[in-house]
Amino acid sequence: MKNILVTGGAGYIGSHVIVRLHEEGYNPIILDDFSNSEKSVLNGLHKITGKNFKLYEGDILNRSLFDQIFNENRIDGVIHFAAKKAVGESVEKPLLYYKNNVSGLVSLLEAMVEHQVPNLVFSSSCTVYGQPDTLPVTEESPTKPANSPYGNTKQIGEEIIRDVVDAKVGLKSIALRYFNPIGAHPSSEIGELPLGVPSNLVPFITQTAAGQRDSLTVFGSNYDTPDGTCIRDYIHVMDLADAHVQSLKHLDSIEDLSHYDFVNIGTGIGSTVLEVIESFEKSSGESLNYSLGPRRPGDVEEIYAQVDKSIILLEWKTKHSLDDALRDSWNWQKKLSGI
């Protein structure tokens, strides 16, 4: 059984990937400092899988912890989720983001090279494209100057990995440029646990419907889109999880020990904010209290993925609809809120 180290494995995306790795016959090992997750996720994972996965509680900045993990386990690959991800916070505290997301990645890469761990899947983001010139956005589209330190850490992260791979040190890697992950495991045992007031659309919608927030503000209604609201590519977290399993299989199949690639991970379908609200109301049966408000600074107008590369390279495409994802987000919220 292949051991896969999952940094940030207790987080939103990481926890869903742990489930899929287990189901696909891998042995996931979690490294997390619980700075943005709760131990309760381990109970959720146990309820779904019946397993207690090996856990290292600690910081990716702690280089000797990686040495310990790689000495104690024969690790076949790493999926690197651990990072800070709040765009607004990154503007206020850029050094925190460069330290955690960039220095943390360097710490991991040093250890992987030293211990000859060959395969790395990196969590990147569609934020590297900014507002693309043509849609759907392909992997050939140029990256744009990042509009936040967070976005810059993803661009820099991709470049660092590419340089390390190019140095032919025995590392193969793929960077997955996620579009907008939403949804939860269909069991409602794990899901997203935003700390404080959510800045992302779907947790804000579900918390509003659950009565935790008074009303949702739609940020901008005069964009050049069919209904005036921004367009994004919302992907079910279970589909996203599958993409990681496929990425590991892909890396394993490649003999070239200096292989680097990057791929869009989205549905290929753009949805407006009002379409997301409509889909939520349909799949939940709830009516949402919302109003149209001013634009949010820094938002891109429209972005959705060209998905051909993921289909060809990873033999992967999404299976879930927007309605499925919002139904699962709502069921998870109801469980959290005791509804």
CB of 127 to ligand NAD, least distance (A): 7
Q: Using CB under 6 A, which residues numbered 154 to 183 contact ligand NAD? A: 178, 181
CB of 218 to ligand WQD, least distance (A): 4
Asked if 91 touches ligand NAD (CB under 6 A), the answer is no
**Residue 218 or 237 with smaller CB distance to ligand NAD:** 237
Q: At what angle do helices 104-114 and 63-72 cross, to 10 degrees?
A: 40
The partner in contact with residue 232, picked from ligand NAD, ligand WQD, none with C-beta cut-offs of 5 to 8 angstroms by kind, is ligand WQD
User: Which of 4, 18, 42, 83 touches ligand NAD by CB under 6 A?
Assistant: 83
**Residue 127 or 152 with smaller CB distance to ligand WQD:** 127
Establish whether 150 is a catalytic residue.
yes
Catalytic residue (one of 12, 26, 150, 223): 150
Q: Using CB under 6 A, which residues numbered 37 to 76 contact ligand NAD? A: 37, 59-61
CB of 262 to ligand NAD, least distance (A): 13
Q: For residue 226, is the peptide bond before it cis, meaning its omega torsion is within 30 degrees of 0?
A: no
The closest residue (CB) to ligand NAD is: 11
Evaluated on CA atoms 311, 3, 14, 147, the torsion sign reads negative
CB atoms within 10 A of CB 140: 8
Please state, in angstroms and rounded to a whole number, the distance separating the CA atoms of residues 285 and 160.
Answer: 46
**Contacting residues toward ligand WQD, per CB under 6 A:** 85, 87, 125, 127, 180, 199-201, 204, 216-219, 230, 232, 273, 296, 299
DSSP, residue by residue, 221-255: S-SSSTTSS-EE-EEEHHHHHHHHHHHHHHHHH--
Give the β-pairing of 172-178 and 119-125. Answer: parallel
User: Contact at 8 Å (CB) between 121 and 79?
Assistant: yes
CB of 274 to ligand WQD, least distance (A): 9
- Reading the block at residue 312, the tokens are 């060809």
Give the β-pairing of 75-80 and 3-7. Answer: parallel
Q: What is the contact surface with ligand NAD in residues (CB under 6 A)?
A: 8, 10-14, 32-37, 59-61, 81-85, 100, 104, 123, 125, 178, 181
Catalytically annotated residues: 150
